Structure 1
Amino acid sequence: KEIIHGIVSLDAGQAGPEHLNHYARGHWTVENSLHWTRDVTFHEDTSQLRTGTAPRNMAAFRNLALNTFRLAGRANIAHARRDLHDRTDTFAVYGI
Structure 2
Amino acid sequence: MIGAQQWGTEVVYAICSLRCEQAPPRLLASWIRGRWAVENKVHYVRDVTFDENRSTVRTGRAPQVMAALRNVVIGLHRRVGQSNIAQACRRLAATPHHAVDLVLSA
CA 1:3 to 1:59, structure 2 compared with 1: closer, same or farther past 3 Å?
A: closer
Structure 1 residue 90 displacement after superposition: 5.0
Structure 1 residue 58 displacement after superposition: 0.7
CA 1:3 to 1:39, structure 2 compared with 1: closer, same or farther past 3 Å?
A: closer
Query: In structure 2, how many angstroms separate the alpha carbons of the residues matched to 1:94 and 1:47?
Result: 25
What TM-score results when the alignment is normalised by the length of structure 1? 0.78
Structure 1 residue 66 displacement after superposition: 0.8
The gaps in structure 2 that reach 5 residues or longer are 1-7
Aligned residue pairs: how many?
96
- 1:8 lines up with 2:6 in the alignment: no
Query: In structure 2, how many angstroms separate the alpha carbons of the residues matched to 1:91 and 1:2?
Result: 48
4+ residue segments displaced more than 6 Å: none
Question: Hey, what does 2:62 align to over in structure 1?
Answer: 54
CA 1:87 to 1:71, structure 2 compared with 1: closer, same or farther past 3 Å?
A: farther
What TM-score results when the alignment is normalised by the length of structure 2? 0.72
Structure 1 residue 88 displacement after superposition: 5.4
Where 1:15 maps in the other structure, the secondary structure is coil
- Residue in structure 1 matching 2:30, options 5, 18, 22: 22
The gaps in structure 1 that reach 5 residues or longer are none
Contact 1:74 1:80 in 2 (8 A): yes
Query: In structure 2, how many angstroms separate the alpha carbons of the residues matched to 1:3 and 1:39?
Result: 25
- 1:94 lines up with 2:70 in the alignment: no
Query: In structure 2, how many angstroms separate the alpha carbons of the residues matched to 1:72 and 1:87?
Result: 16
